């Protein structure tokens, strides 16, 4: 686990990083129900890695708008038949998309090396300690339980991150194990989602890598419509724009297209 974790962390800052998505849920907005078996989940993970994904992100609870929260035992029931086998099936590191400490602990015990927490260590009070003890890296995502169009979302992101980073420091999570995520699509209006992407520029003083999850989001549908081909173009455009504003890790369904796009982006940036 630690070898994969350190290999992944060593890439940060060197080039754009592609995180491929494997949802083992019945109700995710884009691919719910497709990868619920070990065979299908392994095949999808291997496909993403073959296409160039640097890390595979596994989630057993949909966090789409209007989702039904999944109890801890149900989330574990979805993961137990396949997580260990999936981790062993790919050379790339695997992250777990969860906000529950017990699920994070289980995943780390099965070889997962990154915890992708959509509540940024603030939903489950045990989460920071579990990550610290397990030695995993962590993605701290900005989130809110309510939407307020009058809120300065970038200021709110800073307050949120300051609190989460305090929790991480208290638990003993090394700072170089931490990534931040503006949380596009979570607790924000359409305008605030756009402001959150652009606002990463103002948050570079944290000195931490930013991850963005823009793939096939409803934000893109509201701008472009729901045609899958158009949504892919929109996702690529949004991720390249996010990269120009400071993002370096991109959580996507379509790994091959993003690997190609970021080869061009990174070549121009290096020049």
Residue numbers annotated as active site: 217, 251
| DSSP character at residue 67 | P
Contact at 8 Å (CB) between 177 and 138? yes
State how far the Cα of 121 lies from the Cα of 123, in Å rounded to an integer.
6
Contact at 8 Å (CB) between 220 and 199? no
State how far the Cα of 182 lies from the Cα of 211, in Å rounded to an integer.
8
Sign, CA dihedral 126-129-135-140, equals positive
Distances (CA, A) of 184 to 131, 141, 237: 24, 9, 15
Residues 6+ apart with CB under 8 A from 165: 140, 175, 178, 206
């Amino acid at each position: 686990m630690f070898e994969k974790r350190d290999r992944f962390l060593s890439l940060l800052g060197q080039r754009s990083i592609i995180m491929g998505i494997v949802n083992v849920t019945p109700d995710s907005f884009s691919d719910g129900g497709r990868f619920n078996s070990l065979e299908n989940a392994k095949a999808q993970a291997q496909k993403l890695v073959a296409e160039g994904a640097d890390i595979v992100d596994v989630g057993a609870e949909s966090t789409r708008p209007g989702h039904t929260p999944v109890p801890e035992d149900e989330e574990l029931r979805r993961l137990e038949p396949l997580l260990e086998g999936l981790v062993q099936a790919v050379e790339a590191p695997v992250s777990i998309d969860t906000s529950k400490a017990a699920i994070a602990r289980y995943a780390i015990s099965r070889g997962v090396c990154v915890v992708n927490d959509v509540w940024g260590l603030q939903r489950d009070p045990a989460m920071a300690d579990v990550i610290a003890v397990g030695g995993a890296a962590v993605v701290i995502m900005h989130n809110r339980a309510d939407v307020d169009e009058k809120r300065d979302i970038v200021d709110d992101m800073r307050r949120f991150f300051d609190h989460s980073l305090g929790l991480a420091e208290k638990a003993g999570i090394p700072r170089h194990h931490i990534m931040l995520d503006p949380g596009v699509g979570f607790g924000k209006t359409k305008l605030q989602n756009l402001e959150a992407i652009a606002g990463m520029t103002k948050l570079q003083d944290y000195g931490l890598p930013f991850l963005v999850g823009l793939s096939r989001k409803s934000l893109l549908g509201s701008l472009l419509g729901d045609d899958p081909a158009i949504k892919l173009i929109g996702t690529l455009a949004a991720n390249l724009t996010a990269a120009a504003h400071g993002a370096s890790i991109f959580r996507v369904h379509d790994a091959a297209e993003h690997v190609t796009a970021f080869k061009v982006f990174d070549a121009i940036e290096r020049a």
